[in-house]
Structure 1
Amino acid sequence: MSTSDGWLAAAMVPLLCLVPVLRYVATGGPNTRLVAQNLSQLLAGLTLLLAAEGFRRPDYLDLALVLAVLAPAGTLVYARFLGGLPPARIVRWTALFGVPAVVVPLCVAAGPGREAVKVLVIGGLLLAGALVTSGGSQLSSESGVPEEAPARD
């Protein structure tokens, strides 16, 4: 088994995790679909990062960069129409554990240089986008502003 086969085998993990998520994108309620869409964008970005190394195609890094920039913006646009972001712990934990698990080995394999910096930037954007969009900010139906937390004694 060559090293590229190992990277492609690693790329299959987020790709296979994408299958049940896409089911929720297709059949869930509006808030469930938004969370599933957010998670699918994160998994697709991680798959592209691993596939870029596996196929030795740096063009896939450019596609992952575009996805990392545009995906959180798309999630926020949909959230605006739905009245807020539902909290999504699965997206947050997938980002906190999945992004470093993919980015660190890729940076080690790339060595010092432009490609490692590009992978770090993409990983940072994926992580930041997932953390921002998974926090949850349900809007109140009457005022259109975020609900405040109840006061504690």
Structure 2
Amino acid sequence: MTDHADMTAFARQVFEAQPFSRWIGAELVSVGADDARIALDLCDRHRQQHGFVHGGVISYLADNAITFAGGLALGGNALTSEFKINYLRPGVGERLVAEAQTLSAGKRQAVCTAHVFAESGAERRLCAVAQGTVLPVAG
């Protein structure tokens, strides 16, 4: 991709083509050459029986942010080939934000991390960290 505007347009097109992301209510907030930020305003359907955000929702945000960060660093479409997450504290609040950064990118893979924050008003608490490997996909 030649410039930030092209990269952002590409990322938004890919994001909008994800039925699950649309269904869950996620928003692609921003992208860079090797980073991505995805947010989700929380509602009842995102919670489990104790009132915390379901781990699958947190995992989705981390995974998708990692894939976008790595895919952009690799120059196009990508898929996660492996992924690990540590839940640090329950997700509670009004909004979740996943911020991913590429640590290393070559021709065949990118290794990325993500931090998932639970936000409520001005309060922001780290609730999970993740690491994943992203592979380029032709197409």
Q: Same fold (TM over 0.5)?
A: no
Structure exhibiting the larger radius of gyration computed from Cα positions:
1
Structure (1 or 2) with the greater helix fraction: 1
Structure (1 or 2) with the greater strand fraction: 2
Calculate the TM-score normalised by the size of structure 1: 0.28
Calculate the TM-score normalised by the size of structure 2: 0.31
